[in-house]
Amino acid sequence: MDKKERILIVDDEKIVRESLFHWFEEEDYDVDTAEDGETALNKYEKEKFDLLLVDMKMPGMSGLDLLSKIKAIDKDALIILITAFASVPTAITALKNGAYDYVTKPVDPDELAHLVKKALEQRALKIENIQLKENIDEIIKPDNLIGESFQMKKIYELVHTVARTDTTVMIRGESGTGKELVAKAIHINSSRKYFPIIPVNCGALAESLLESELFGHEKGAFTGAQFKRKGKFEMADRGTIFLDEIGSISLKMQIELLRVIETKQFNRVGGNELIKSDFRVIIATNEPLEELVKAGKFREDLYYRLNVFTIVIPPLRERRDDIPLLANFFINKFSRVMNKPVKSVSKEAMDFLINYDWPGNVRELENAIERAMVVGKTNLIIVDDLPFHVSSNSFGLDGDAKSLSAMEKKYIQKILNENNWNISKTAQELEIDRVTLYNKINKYGLRKAEY
């Protein structure tokens, strides 16, 4: 059974209180009364009422005073004023102060009942819309942000918590874990979602280019600057700027970055006009910034300015439960793009995917599924379709060296040798970052052959 809506009738005239009480009780409302403003205020503080009918003119606390006090307690309180005809200008003032509406004496019960019903229906619709909006906001995620493991559920909780604020967020994680996806999740669940999120890969640009990229430039500011150009901070006005690989920027740029984050003001390169922009900052790093601070490569004041709220994304090898979900998501994605009837992964291939260490994380898994669907001949992905599948004949593995670690070691050694130990090129082919490659080399004790 639906709970009855509660009405509080506040009037110093007993006959009016009793008449309205019986009228609305017959209309199936839960009704209570108060003979003055003080009594009504005490009842409202202790109990919950959906609507109040308040006489404008009462001894002691007037209806206007009661309106102000209740609105201070609950800005969404629903109040209808009852006033004598001569007090209509005052009632209009009350509407400006938050009253829902007013009726004049003598009160027409049918008119008042209709007004009360309309007010309560609008209130219920408003509450329903707010709840619906909150429920929708809770589940908005970028398509590729997949996972039901406890680690990912914790990340969703953190995203939900911080998205509703303007707090600066630092996202940590290995290359390929989906740091930009988490940044997008924060943005699209925030009040800034109707404005853009502007990504900047700080590690991909030289210092001179990065300055122009972030702050923009005026025409003629440097050779090749034929037009005035807005920078990323300006483009992110009322939205979010996402600074990836933040640890790679120079000390000079760190000073500029600290200033613009603190003041939300900057000049275009070659310009004198002070540009203002209202942006939120989300940064990402796969480097230990604390170590860079100790080494004097990253400013301590900037570090503390950025490290307000941290989200750490675990590598894929630490949330293996999510691998089948991710694999099936990418299969569905590429089957539509390629128009191929591939629907699933064989048990052996899935076991291989789950047990593989994924040095390139989710990005590597996506590339592996895409490659498998390109080379696959049936509607089922098998082990031989996977790009990192290593047979004993491929690299001369003996019968005792068929473990995943042995296969990985041999494969990395092979790619290193093919590239004459060019670390950058090898890391690119393996789709991992240089730090991860160095860690693998140290882990397996790999050495360049000497001739």
If you average pLDDT over every residue of the chain, what do you get?
A: 85
Residue 183: give its domain's CATH number.
3.40.50.300
Token output for 204: 């991909």
Q: Which residues contact 137 (CB under 8 A, 6 or more apart)?
A: 160, 163, 189
pLDDT band at residue 136, thresholds of 50, 70 and 90? Answer: very low
User: Is pLDDT of 221 > 70?
Assistant: no
Structural domain includes residue 402: yes
Boundary of a domain, candidates 314, 347, 363:
314
Structural domain includes residue 451: no
Q: What is the mean pLDDT of residues 214-218?
A: 86
Structural domain includes residue 430: yes
How many domains is the chain built from?
A: 3
Same domain, 324 and 437: yes
Structural domain includes residue 375: yes
> Above pLDDT 70, what percent of the chain?
90
- Given a contact cutoff of 8 angstroms between Cβ atoms, the answer to whether 261 and 233 are in contact is no
Greatest Cα-to-Cα distance within the chain, rounded to the nearest angstrom: 110
- Given a contact cutoff of 8 angstroms between Cβ atoms, the answer to whether 246 and 202 are in contact is yes
What pLDDT shows up at residue 33?
A: 94
What pLDDT shows up at residue 132?
A: 60
What backbone phi and psi angles, to 5 degrees, belong to 9?
-100, 125
Structural domain includes residue 1: no
Same domain, 297 and 360: no
Q: What is the mean pLDDT of residues 285-307?
A: 93
- Given a contact cutoff of 8 angstroms between Cβ atoms, the answer to whether 231 and 268 are in contact is yes
Same domain, 54 and 184: no
Same domain, 161 and 210: yes
User: Is pLDDT of 451 > 60?
Assistant: no
Same domain, 280 and 253: yes
What pLDDT shows up at residue 35?
A: 93
Residue-wise pLDDT tens digits, 203-214: 888 877 888 889
- Give the span between the Cα atoms of 166 and 198, in whole angstroms: 16
Q: What is the mean pLDDT of residues 80-105?
A: 79
Same domain, 369 and 429: yes
What pLDDT shows up at residue 416?
A: 87
Q: What is the mean pLDDT of residues 250-277?
A: 90
Least confident of 15-19, 185-189, 346-350, 412-416: 412-416
User: Is pLDDT of 445 > 90?
Assistant: no
Residue 69: give its domain's CATH number.
3.40.50.2300
User: Is pLDDT of 390 > 50?
Assistant: no
Structural domain includes residue 333: yes
Q: What is the mean pLDDT of residues 1-29?
A: 88
In angstroms, the Cα distances linking 114 to 22, 111, 118, 126, 321 are: 16, 5, 6, 18, 57
Structural domain includes residue 310: yes
User: Is pLDDT of 431 > 50?
Assistant: yes
Same domain, 216 and 333: no
Same domain, 324 and 414: yes
User: Is pLDDT of 356 > 80?
Assistant: yes
What pLDDT shows up at residue 134?
A: 53
Q: Which residues contact 120 (CB under 8 A, 6 or more apart)?
A: 5, 50, 51, 78
Give CA 31 to chain center in angstroms: 44
Residue-wise pLDDT tens digits, 397-413: 444 444 566 777 878 88
Spatial CA neighbour of 47 closest among 70, 75, 24: 70
Same domain, 128 and 186: no
In angstroms, the Cα distances linking 326 to 146, 323, 332 are: 6, 5, 10
User: Is pLDDT of 126 > 90?
Assistant: no
- Give the span between the Cα atoms of 189 and 138, in whole angstroms: 7
What pLDDT shows up at residue 130?
A: 67
More confident residue, 351 or 2: 351
What pLDDT shows up at residue 441?
A: 87
Boundary of a domain, candidates 263, 295, 314:
314
Same domain, 302 and 252: yes
- Give the span between the Cα atoms of 16 and 19, in whole angstroms: 5
pLDDT band at residue 448, thresholds of 50, 70 and 90? Answer: confident
Domain ranges, residue 193:
150-314
Boundary of a domain, candidates 105, 134, 163:
134
What pLDDT shows up at residue 141?
A: 67
3-state DSSP of the chain: CCCCCEEEEECCCHHHHHHHHHHHHHCCCEEEEECCHHHHHHHHHHCCCCEEEEECCCCCCCHHHHHHHHHHHCCCCCEEEEECHHHHHHHHHHHHCCCCEEEECCCCHHHHHHHHHHHHHHHHHHHHHHHHHHHHHHHCCCCCCCCCCHHHHHHHHHHHHHHCCCCCEEEECCCCCCHHHHHHHHHHCCCCCCCCEEEEEHHHCCHHHHHHHHHEECCCCCCCCCCCEECHHHHCCCCEEEEECHHHCCHHHHHHHHHHHHHCEEECECCCCEEECCCEEEEEECCCHHHHHHCCCCCHHHHHHHCCEEEECCCHHHCHHHHHHHHHHHHHHHHHHHCCCCCEECHHHHHHHHHCCCCCHHHHHHHHHHHHHHHCCCCEECHHHCCCCCCCCCCCCCCCCCCHHHHHHHHHHHHHHHCCCCHHHHHHHHCCCHHHHHHHHHHHCCCCCCC
Q: What is the mean pLDDT of residues 37-42?
A: 92
Same domain, 130 and 178: no
What pLDDT shows up at residue 415?
A: 86
In angstroms, the Cα distances linking 152 to 84, 146, 239, 306 are: 61, 8, 25, 23
Least confident of 53-62, 329-338, 405-414: 405-414
Same domain, 389 and 254: no
Residue 413: give its domain's CATH number.
1.10.8.60
**CA count, 13 A, side-chain hemisphere, 341:** 3
In angstroms, the Cα distances linking 109 to 9, 42, 53, 91, 105 are: 13, 27, 12, 19, 11
User: Is pLDDT of 34 > 90?
Assistant: yes
Q: What is the mean pLDDT of residues 351-363?
A: 89
Structural domain includes residue 24: yes
User: Is pLDDT of 85 > 70?
Assistant: no
- Site of tokens 């089922």: 380
What pLDDT shows up at residue 108?
A: 85
Q: What is the mean pLDDT of residues 54-76?
A: 89
pLDDT band at residue 267, thresholds of 50, 70 and 90? Answer: confident
Least confident of 42-46, 368-372, 430-434: 430-434
User: Is pLDDT of 310 > 90?
Assistant: yes
Least confident of 203-212, 220-229, 246-255, 367-376: 220-229
